[in-house]
Amino acid sequence: MKNKAKKQEKKKNQTGSRDWYALILFTVILMAVLLLYGRTVEYDYTYLDDNELILKNQHILRHLGNLAYAFQEDVFFSFSDAYYRPMLTTSFLIDGQFGVHTLVPFHVSNLIIHVLCAWLVFVLLRKLTQNRHMAGFFAVLFAVHPVLSQAVAWVPGRNDSLLALFVLAAFLSLLVYMEKKGWFFYLSHMFFFVLALFTKETVLLFVFVCMAYLLLIVRPQNVWRIIMKLGLGWSLATGLYLIMRSIAMVHPIQYSFREMFLSTWISLPALLQFLGKIFFPFNLSVLPTMLDTTYLYGIGVVLLLTLACWYKRKTLDWRMVALGGVWFLMFIIPSFIRPNADIMVNFLEHRTYLPIIGIFLIAGGLLRGAAVTSRVFIIAAASVILLMSIVNWFHVPHFQNRLVFWNNAASNSPNSPLAQRNLGAMLYLDGDKDRAAHYFRKALALNPFEPMANMNLGLIAMDQNNLALAESLFVREATINPYYANAYFNLGILHYKKGQADQAAAAWERTLQLDANFEAAYINLIVLLYENQRIEPAKAYMRILRSRNMAIPAELIRLVGF
């Protein structure tokens, strides 16, 4: 009886110790995130996607009743359907209930999601490595790692942190299901898998991570029966997703197998660049390209990992290393796929948010049996976390506003026409038109077909009353970029200035065909129709404005009469 009582007391003490450790670790993660990223709540738009996703769609995001739109439209609510991201839009809708005229609630949500992900990294690694100290180190490292800062400081980066949140929850549900069985944990896994799928379609490769876990780590006798049971749920979830996606994506961008393979093959060297930034994040950029990023750090990492595996060959957990490798590759390679292999791709660093956990698993396999509570390990771990925090502290401000953001992009990616063009756009918005024109021409020198560069030069020409040049540039933009609504919108303004009412109306009608939520096009068209005594068509467009809950200027209401 005494021995039983001692065992129960020992178990109680261990449980209490675990509870205190977990509470302290969560507090450390929370304080680290607030210290490094708390200032981001005041950050403004970068004008890389956030203006399209949030600023442009304020009339949608302010009403939670528009939730159905999240599942019925492309994430940009555009004519050319590129990305189906219902959960990202849903999260923005929730944020919008706290205000759409400020980014504060959107940034706060990014911080909350990052804290939750860092905590789930701890829970996952503690289960897989059976070492809470090692898991705690990697969780804090995840919280402060500068290569992940884009997913936290840049609002659209949430798509990857949201994906990680659902994937980690789904994987943990699978781990518990394998321990305890039962329908609750099976359905929990499927529930989070569905949420992840409606966040980003690349989660389909998560299936291979789950299979690798079952075949490498668990290895139950009935493994194929379990895989078939899981496969049924994955298939049903995928079928639901594909049906809803096909309904929402009316004009999807087409990806041929050849294009996907070719773009992935061309981009494979970027694996070295991502690895280099994970281990040595000293050449970070808000808009990195393969051409402007060094391979040296990545080559060094491969050599170090190879040496570490050879040195630890007798003690390393090769199954954990293999699982980590599968995790990293399955979540990083899909970011290389794009429809046109000839366009320079940007290897944005937030794409490492989920893959980096695979690197932690590899490190966990290498460190098996290491004395992680020794003074040497604690000092080394603390030094790494401190160094990463310092690098992060100086990198995060690059996301504070559009001009700082694009200055960093153009400076660190001089061969990116997108970076040069958008820096020009930011300068134009700030009234520095001469410098803006310089960067637009620089973008076109790098890529004569760079979208929006001709249109922006056309705006400068129109501001200078050179309407002939402006018209030629707008027409060229529409030819290069036929689904770009702004090109037709500005062409309409030009025709209006020239007194060509019919041409202006046609251009704005084309604008609305491409983007049914283009408020300014509605307003301009209503004014034009009213000026030309076409009262009923003007009122018809007013009714559309009202039905879409768009803001209607008071002077427009007075003009039209209702």
CA 16/CA 18 separation, integer angstroms: 5
pLDDT of residue 1: 46
pLDDT of residue 2: 47
Sign of CA dihedral 523, 525, 531, 535: negative
- Compute φ and ψ for 285, nearest 5 degrees: -150, 150
CB within 8 Å of 436: residues ≥ 6 apart: 424, 425, 427, 428, 456, 460
Q: Looking at this protein, which amino acid is placed at residue 198?
A: F
Q: What does the block give as tokens for 487? A: 């090109």
Chain mean position to CA 377 = 34
CA 179/CA 537 separation, integer angstroms: 65
Give the domain ranges of the chain.
2-399, 458-562
Q: Which residues of the chain carry a pLDDT beneath 50?
A: 1-2, 5-6, 9-10, 12-14
CATH number for the region 458-562 comes to 1.25.40.10
pLDDT of residue 18: 62
Reported as a single tens digit per residue, the pLDDT across 350-386 is 999 999 999 999 999 998 877 777 888 899 999 999 9
Q: What does the block give as tokens for 381? A: 């771990």
Spatial contact of 404 and 360, defined as CB atoms under 8 Å apart? no
Spatial contact of 529 and 499, defined as CB atoms under 8 Å apart? no
CA 152/CA 161 separation, integer angstroms: 8
Q: Which residue has the tokens 């002939």?
A: 468
CA 196/CA 316 separation, integer angstroms: 32
Q: What does the block give as tokens for 323? A: 């699982």
CA angle at 236 for the pair 233 and 238, rounded to the nearest 5°: 105
CB within 8 Å of 251: residues ≥ 6 apart: 79, 80, 81
Q: Which residue has the tokens 């309409």?
A: 492
Spatial contact of 165 and 117, defined as CB atoms under 8 Å apart? yes
As a dihedral over the C-alpha atoms of residue 176, residue 177, residue 179, residue 181, rounded to 10 degrees, the angle is 140
Residues found in the chain: 562
pTM: 0.88
Report CA-CA distances (Å) from 402 to 43, 419, 424.
10, 12, 11
pLDDT of residue 373: 79
Instruction: Supply the DSSP symbol for 346.
Output: B
> What is the separation, in whole angstroms, between the first and last Cα of the chain?
86
What is the three-state SS of 176-207? HHHHHCCHHHHHHHHHHHHHHHCCCHHHHHHH
What is the three-state SS of 207-268? HHHHHHHHHHHHCCCCHHHHHHHHHHHHHHHHHHHHHHHHHHCCCECCCCHHHHHHHHHHHC
pLDDT of residue 5: 47
